[in-house]
Structure 1
Amino acid sequence: MHDNTTAQRAVGFLLRLTDADDAARIRRRIGAPSPGAGERRTAHAVLKLTPVPSSVLLWILEENDPKLNAVVYGHASADPWLRRAVLRGVPFGPGRTDTLPVDRVLLKHADEPPVPHQLVAQGLVEALRAATAMAPARDAASMVLGHRDWQTVAAADRERPLPGYARWALSVRPDCPPALRDQFGSHAKFTHRLRQAGVLAGPGAYATGHGPAAHVLRVLSLGHVMFPARVRDAEEALRPLVRDHLGGHEEAWAVLAQLLDTFHGTAPELIMTAGAIA
C-alpha cells in the first residue's frame, strides 16, 4: 500500500473500528501508516480533490467551524447558495442561531455569488411562485438561507402550494427540513432525484448503501476531521461487519486492501467478500 492512496485511507478508516492492538498489528502487516500529526491539513487537501454528495458538505457546515466552512466554499461541488451562506455566516449546526465569523482569508479573497436582480426585486416567495422552469426555480431556491427562510417557504406552501419546479428545487437542497419535504409530498421519481442530487439519509445509510466502497470509505475517512459529530453514525453501521468478517484476521485485511481499487459494490459487500475469500 502507498501513503495517501484511496486504499490506504479506506483501510485506515475501517481499522479504526477494530481492536487497537489488532489494528496496530495489521497496519504493520499490510503497510498502512498510523494516523498522525497534520491529519487536519491533509484532510482539507484531500477533500478539495474528492467529489462528494451534497449532504457531506452540509455535515461539514454543521460543525459551525469557519476554517471548515472555508474549505467547503472552495469545493467544486459547492452550489451558489452554499457559498453565499458561508460568506454570510449562516449557521447550520444544531442550537446555533447567531451569525458565524467568516474565515479572514476567505472574506478577503472570495466573492458572493449574485442573485439575479429580478428575483431580488420579487422577493423569495414571489420568485418561487413565478418559477415555470427548472433554471429559474433553482435561482429562486438559492435565495433560501437559514432557518427563518425555510419557515417562510413552509408557510407560503401551506397557504398555497408552490409550483412543482420550485418544490423540486427546494427538495434537493440537502438542508431542506425533512418535514418540509414531507409537506411537498412524493412521487415515483422523488427518491431517485434526491439520490442524484446527493441528498443522503445520513452517514450510516451512506456507509452501507452507496458505492463504490473505496470512494465511500475515502470520504468517511475524512470524517474525524471534517464532520466528527456525524461520522460516528457510519462507524456504528460498519463496526459489527468489521468485527464479524475481518476482526484481527491479517489475511482478510490484506485481501480487502487488494480488492479495493476494482471493487464496485458497497462497503458491507466488500467487507463480507474479503472475509469469505480469506
Structure 2
Amino acid sequence: MATVDQAGGLGFLLALVDREQAARVRLRTGLPEEDPAAAGRPPKGYGWQYGLRDLPASVVWWMLQQDDPDVNVLVYEHARIDDRVRHDILRGVPQGPGRTRRVKVDRALSRFPPPEVRLASGPEELTAVLREVGSMGQGRAAARMVGREDWPVVAAADAVRPLPGYARWALSVRPDCPPEVRARFGTHRKFTHRKFTHRLRTAGIVDGPAAYATTTRPAPQALSVLAMGRWAFPARLAEAHAALRPLVRAELGGNTEAWAVLAQLLPTFTGTVPELVTTARAIAGDAA
C-alpha cells in the first residue's frame, strides 16, 4: 500500500502514463485518486513549509519566475535568495522570461523593511565595481548589485575582458544568473570543470528542471519537489515531464507489479529517479 508520504511523488510519475494505466496502478498500490485542483494549490498549514528551507537555489528561482504574489511571500525569507532579489520582489519586478508587467506585492510582505542594497548608477559604474573585485567578499557585494536588467551589462563586460575570478564565482552562484552567462563563467582559466560544477552543486544551482529530475538524489526528495512544482513552478514543470516521460512509459507503463515494487523502494531509495524506475522494472520483470 502506498503511504501518504509517497503519494505526491507517485502521483507525479503516474501523470506521465495514460489514465487507464494510472487507474490500474492506483488500484494495485492503494494510492488514492488525486484532486487536480488541490494539487495545483499550496497545502494548508505550516508543517509542510519547513521543507522549503532545504530547496536548492534553482528551485527557489523557478518559483520566483512564476511571478505569483502568493509564491513570492513563501520564498521572500528563503536563505537561498539575497537582498537584491528581495528588493526586486518588493518593487514588483517580474522575473519570468519575457514578462514586463509589474507583479502585485502581497500585503503580507509589508511587515518587512525594505532591504538596504547598493544600486549602480549605470552600466559604467556596475562594470567598474565588478572589475575592482579582489576577494570573495567583494565579489558577493558586487553580485548583489546585479538585477534582472543588469545581466546584459555583465555579459558584455565579460565578453570584452573576462571579469575577475571572484566576481565570476559570486555571479555564477546567483540563482538568476542566465545559463549562457554561467556557462561562459565556467570557462575561466582558473576554474577546473570539476571545481566549478562542485561549487554550483554546493550552492544549489541546477541547469534546469530536466537536469533536476534526472540527476538529483535521493529520488524521494526529487519527486517530492517535482510534485510540489505543480503549484510552485508549473511553468517550468513541463521540462521535467519531458525528461522523464519516455523512460517511465517504456520501463513502467501499465506494469502494475513494477509500480508496486517502485512504491516499496521509494521511501529509502538513494539513487536518482531514472535509477529508481529502471530498478523497479528489473525487479518486477515483465509481469503486468
TM-score of the superposed pair, with normalisation by structure 2: 0.84
TM-superposed CA distance for 1:91, in Å, is 1.4
CA contact (8 A) 1:9 1:218 kept: yes
Indicate yes or no: 2:95 matched with 1:92: yes
Which amino acid letter does the alignment assign opposite residue 29 of structure 1? R
In the alignment, does 2:274 pair up with 1:268?
Answer: yes
**Residue number in structure 1 paired with 2:129:** 127
Q: Which residue of 2 aligns with 1:38?
A: 38
Aligned 8 A contact 1:10 1:217 in 2: yes
Take 2:181 and 2:280, find their aligned partners in 1: how far apart are those partners?
Answer: 42
Q: Deviations over 1:182-235 (max 9, x none)?
A: 443343122222222222221111111221111111111112211112111111
Give RMSD over aligned pairs: 2.5
Q: Partner residue of 2:140?
A: 138
Q: Which residue of 1 aligns with 2:208?
A: 202
SS of aligned partner of 1:114: coil
**Aligned partners of 1:204 and 1:237 also within 8 Å:** yes
Cα separation, partners in 2 of 1:33 and 1:78, compared to 1, 3 Å: farther
Offset of residue 11 of structure 1 = 1.0
Corresponding residue number in structure 2 for 1:165: 166
Q: Distance in 2 between matches of 1:33 and 1:20?
A: 14
Q: Any conservation in 2 of the 1:48–1:71 contact (CA below 8 Å)?
A: no
Amino acid at match of 2:238: R
Say whether the 8 Å CA contact 1:170–1:176 is kept in structure 2. yes
Identity %: 51
1:217-262 CA distance string (max 9 Å, x none): 1111112211112111111111122112211222211211111121
Q: Which moved more, 1:75-84 or 1:245-254?
A: 75-84
Contact 2:129–2:142 (8 Å) recurs in 1: yes
> In the TM superposition, what is the alpha-carbon distance from 1:179 to its structure 2 partner?
3.3
Q: Which residue of 2 aligns with 1:68?
A: 71
Q: Which runs of 5+ in 1 are unaligned?
A: none
Aligned length: 272
Specify the SS of the correspondent of 2:99: coil
Aligned residue type for 1:54? A
Preserved contact between residue 91 and residue 98 of structure 1 (Cα < 8 Å)? yes
Question: Would the alpha carbon gap of residues 156 and 141 (structure 1) be closer, same or farther in structure 2, given more than 3 Å must change?
Answer: same
After the TM superposition, which of the residue ranges 22-31 and 221-230 deviates more from structure 2?
A: 22-31
Q: Which residue is equivalent to 2:253?
A: 247
**TM-score, normalised relative to structure 1:** 0.87
CA distance in 1, matches of 2:266, 2:126: 46
Of 236, 241, 257, which residue of structure 2 is paired with 1:235?
Answer: 241
Contact 1:66 1:103 in 2 (8 A): yes
Match of 1:150 in 2: 151
Conservation of the 8 A alpha-carbon contact between 2:84 and 2:117: no
Distance 1:208 1:54 in 2: 17
Q: What is aligned with 1:52? A: 55
Counterpart of 1:228 in structure 2: which amino acid?
P
User: Retained in 2: the 8 A contact 1:138–1:166?
Assistant: yes
1:101 to 90, 104, 117: 104
State the match for 2:14 in structure 1: 15
Instruction: Return 5+ residue gaps in structure 2 as ranges.
Output: none
Residues 160-195 of structure 1 show CA distances to partners (whole Å, capped at 9, x for unaligned) of: 432211111001112212333344334312222222
**Residues 2 and 171 of structure 1: CA distance in aligned 2, closer, same or farther (over 3 Å):** same
Q: 1:43 to 1:131 in 2, by over 3 A?
A: farther
Amino acid paired to 1:86: I
Contact 1:48 1:74 in 2 (8 A): no
Partner of 2:28: 29
**Alpha-carbon spacing, 1:275–1:87, altered in 2? closer, same or farther (3 Å):** same
**How far, CA to CA, are the matches of 1:229 and 1:43 in structure 2?**
22
Distance 1:139 1:74, change over 3 A: same
1:209-224 counterparts in 2 under 5 A?
A: 209-224=215-230
